[in-house]
Chains A and B, each alone.
Chain A
């Protein structure tokens, strides 16, 4: 009976806290953001190419998301009506700039191609949906962040869910940071993508990814509220960070204590530069990452000792190591940025690095050969020496054209920043944890919201899969081909299906559901980024 009373009281608290939505006015921030963005589109038409650029608007959105998240975090630790209001309107501004950037980009992409058409005397005037910004990973990232932002704003119509911005908007900001490093150059659309199914398919994808992100954030908050120890969270965030560090730069960080950044080669037609086959070793980054990896491994060991042996000393050490790892991760990122910015005489330095480590020639030779569409027998007939020779030849011919840029490794950089953000949030959660827990809504309302967003994400992913299959069927008569991106989306969808079925039929709620929601989002992210950058397939453009 006491247990029942406890639950009932919690329900009561939730009910008390859940300020009833005040109909239309509670949706005002979301509506204003949407309407405002379309006004910006109208202004873009009026003003023409002199109008503020879409990349500038994206940077404004990024700044607003970070600002809003900071104020909402402040409000969680030190409740203040003012901080909450700034947080809400900061998020509104962020969504406004985010959507405005995407809409302005649509018009800019049209102008970009129109100039080319007119310059060559081409009378063609393609339809406007050809230019809808769903053509590459930059466009998709803008829409993904918008999906997360607008979902957060819609949920914020209940005052007790406005705090969510503190957790969702940093993730949206990370996605925009990734977009910034991917680069927003315009490129001609691949002809097969010129279909009315593209806005439907990719639009659904970005919105459902955004909803999945919000569901993930709610799941993390649920675990925090449900008294999952911060130390356990630190173990998971450390495993994630170690996995990121171990997989970047072709796995060279832990094996050779070296981080090698990708390089660009200029595009003769003036578009976005091509990725070069060679990678340039940045000074100190590898060692800084190795040290942070060791510190994070220490965090895992110390916290495991605390959790399984209740060793308070280990807990203390773990927290010290965690903070040290955070600082070293910042240092590594700083070395990364300065290393790229300050590198001069790339060709000579690269030559010296290759003399010390000629293995890259072999790898590059193999990569070049794999692009030649040789048969397996032809490929097998090439000797390692020939591969190495091909690599050397390639460097001799192109070494002087290669250059470093912050945009050469967007996914690796975003991965490092995400690992850093993960460590930061765990440190933050460890600070006045109980106060933070008290200020969060009840477990019941969080669970309910998590379920609601998981349902939406599941329905959205189903729409994504089906519209994609229908598009593929109409474009090349093959609705489903187990392309890696298709399979990735299917895997994420199946995970959400398992989430819903265990919940509906087995009564799995709370923590179990939260773990499923986290897994589902990780798979969504793998589909969004991992598949595009790591696996071959039809969707390598996005």
Chain B
């Protein structure tokens, strides 16, 4: 083998130099193909999360208990019961964000080129290969006049026109029309280029910016904030507060941490004290239950005592949260143990001939009778029953409602009195006169025992930024992308005879092709209609 042969062979087998590994990784990370694969994995994992009941969803405990120990171990180790907080799901979102950023950077220059350097001229073949194309012949004095006519037509149809002259080089043709590759010939042509909606080419980048704002804001909100709840009741009765784990005044909220079938609650101290002054439940049927399907609204009145900012009174209603120092208070649910916010008592004096007295008593308040008797609210029992010698309630329903009152007679004697809503016979021991009166609960305004408020702490308002700016921005950007299209039309003018010119039209749009087709037809027809026209569509 000669040296020459060797060198030739070596050259033949030498491979093109591979791009640096860093570039290849960047190319891979910024590729749309990789992005689509990530989307597919995200879809798959999200579906898994739907099929496996997640640990924060109601009903998880029962479904978890029914699983075998092996399932608990395997699925639990894979994080399938809390998939959306798993490291791999978050990692996937991070890589997807990276892909969006890199793909946008990678493709931005070519998109920008559409705006900064539009293609003003083209060859006849290129124009005829466009999705919309047409060739017409029209009469005119010269090419400039024809160009002005086309410009006007473009303008009238909303396209921004530009006239340019271009010299195109092509292979010469012989008499039979065959290309002669040994000769080239230059040809001057006048072009009219029109376009519309070119900024639409940047729409995808705007979408990505808002999408990333959304991701980032949500991530920051999750990292810097927390969710908690607080069970508030205006009732000052210590036993009720203890039995139902509710507070009337507190400076702590409860943070719940779920780990599979274990729930742990942590108290988080607030920089202020909350006092529940009243709760109210607006009912549809005022005689009906306080269940959710008979409810119009819940309202909790709270008082905040803040050493830094003083006292604030606020209402928290459904869909009307209250914000204070980065904490937002929302109505979450109610403890549907029957209670009453305002009661009307009917007192029949023991002494005959005296008129009955009507007293309106609010929860936690006192009232005084003309004779000096003081009536203080103690507690409300919706389904009164005596248990172990103590008044109690059998259920949360208003089956046998009674209010327990602490009555102080003018002589200072303190008596516990039960006023029942149900009519009792006069000779019933429980309806015997006490403190000089027969007591009856004439009416009462239904209210649950306690409201549960959920609290969102978001010190940087990141959720607001994410969903209002990122979210609305995304909607606006998508509308911009999909409802506007970049339409381009070219017209190449060529002289064909005395006062006769051929115009080759070509056009394309990046979306909404059917509407563009109509527009294109309108332009071509408007120019052809006044002339000896010979519309030849699809000349190749």
Using a CB–CB distance below 8 Å, which chain A residues touch chain B? 1, 4-5, 8-9, 11-12, 15, 18, 20-21, 113, 116-117, 119-122, 124, 126, 158, 187-188, 190-192, 194-195, 269, 271, 366, 369-370, 373-377, 379-380, 444-445, 448-449, 451-452, 455-456, 458-459, 462-463, 466, 469-470, 473-484, 487-488, 490-491, 494-495, 497-498, 501-502, 504-506, 531, 535-537
Contacts and interface: CB of A to CB of B under 8 A. Distances in A.
B521 A477 contact: no
Contacts of A458: 478, 482
A463 B475 contact: yes
Given A20-B521, A191-B296, A466 B474 contact: yes
A120 B288 contact: yes
A126 B296 contact: yes
A488 B286 contact: no
A458 B46 CA distance: 18
B292 interface: yes
Interface string B443-481: 000000000001110000001101110011011001101
B49 interface: yes
Contacts of B328: 477
B300 to A, nearest CB: 13
B369 interface: no
Interface of B: 32-33, 35-36, 39-40, 42-43, 46-47, 49-51, 53-54, 56-66, 84, 129, 131, 204, 218, 227, 260-261, 263, 282-288, 292-298, 318-319, 321, 328, 330-332, 454-456, 463-464, 466-468, 471-472, 474-475, 478-479, 481-482, 511-514, 517-518, 521, 537-538, 540
B261 to A, nearest CB: 3
A376 B61 contact: yes
A473 B467 contact: yes
B102 to A, nearest CB: 13
B540 A5 contact: yes
Given A376-B62, A535-B50, 13 more contacts: A120-B283, A122-B285, A190-B292, A192-B318, A195-B319, A369-B62, A459-B482, A463-B475, A469-B471, A477-B330, A480-B218, A494-B42, A537-B57
A487 B50 contact: yes
A1 B540 contact: yes
Contacts of B455: 477
A9 B218 CA distance: 52
B284 A188 contact: yes
21 contacts: A4-B129, A4-B540, A8-B538, A21-B518, A122-B285, A191-B296, A191-B298, A366-B62, A375-B263, A377-B261, A379-B66, A455-B482, A462-B474, A474-B321, A477-B321, A477-B455, A481-B56, A483-B57, A491-B50, A498-B43, A535-B53
A454 to B, nearest CB: 9
Contacts of A370: 59, 62-63
Contacts of B471: 466, 469-470
Contact of B517 (A15, A379, A451, A475): A15
Nearest to A459: B478
Contacts of B332: 476
Contact of B463 (A12, A119, A192, A479): A479
Contacts of B285: 116-117, 119-120, 122
Most buried by A among B56, B287, B319: B319
Contacts of A491: 43, 46-47, 50
A3 to B, nearest CB: 11
Given A192-B319, A459-B478, A501 B39 contact: yes
B133 to A, nearest CB: 9
A386 to B, nearest CB: 13
A474 B43 CA distance: 27
Contacts of A505: 32
A473 B475 CA distance: 17
Nearest to A161: B514
B538 A479 contact: no
A469 B53 contact: no
Contact of A536 (B53, B131, B331): B53
A505 B468 CA distance: 29
Contacts of A462: 474-475, 478
Contacts of B511: 451-452, 455
A373 B58 contact: yes
B399 to A, nearest CB: 15
A477 B463 CA distance: 9
Contacts of A469: 467, 471
B118 to A, nearest CB: 20
Contact of B50 (A8, A9, A451, A484): A484
A478 B287 CA distance: 34
Contacts of B296: 124, 126, 191, 194
Nearest to A537: B57
Contact of A122 (B60, B284, B298, B474): B284
B294 A188 contact: yes
Nearest to A456: B482
A535 B286 CA distance: 34
B330 A448 contact: no
A121 B286 contact: yes
A415 B54 CA distance: 27
Contacts of B36: 498, 501-502, 506
A120 to B, nearest CB: 4
A487 B49 contact: yes
A497 B42 CA distance: 12
Contacts of B35: 501
Contacts of A484: 50, 57
Contacts of A452: 511-512, 514
Contacts of A476: 330-332, 454
B32 A506 contact: yes
A482 B479 contact: no
B50 A475 contact: no
A190 B65 CA distance: 30
B248 to A, nearest CB: 23
B529 to A, nearest CB: 14
B474 A478 contact: no
Given A191-B318, A456-B482, A466-B474, A477 B50 contact: no
B79 to A, nearest CB: 13
Nearest to A271: B293
A187 B454 CA distance: 27
A536 B58 contact: yes
B508 to A, nearest CB: 12
Contacts of A470: 467-468, 471
A369 B466 CA distance: 40
Nearest to A10: B538
Given A192-B319, A449-B514, A494 B218 contact: no
Contacts of B474: 462, 466
Contacts of A490: 46
Most buried by B among A366, A452, A482, A495: A482
Contacts of B478: 458-459, 462-463
Contacts of A187: 293
Contacts of A536: 53, 57-59
Given A8-B538, A9-B538, A124-B296, A374 B62 contact: yes
B472 A122 contact: no
Most buried by A among B204, B286, B464, B521: B286
A160 B229 CA distance: 59
B135 to A, nearest CB: 13
A490 B96 CA distance: 15
B416 to A, nearest CB: 33
Most buried by A among B40, B50, B56, B263: B50
Given A445-B514, A469-B467, A494-B39, A487 B295 contact: no
A102 to B, nearest CB: 23
A479 B540 contact: no
B282 to A, nearest CB: 7
Nearest to A126: B296
Contacts of B56: 481
A498 B40 CA distance: 8
A271 B293 CA distance: 11
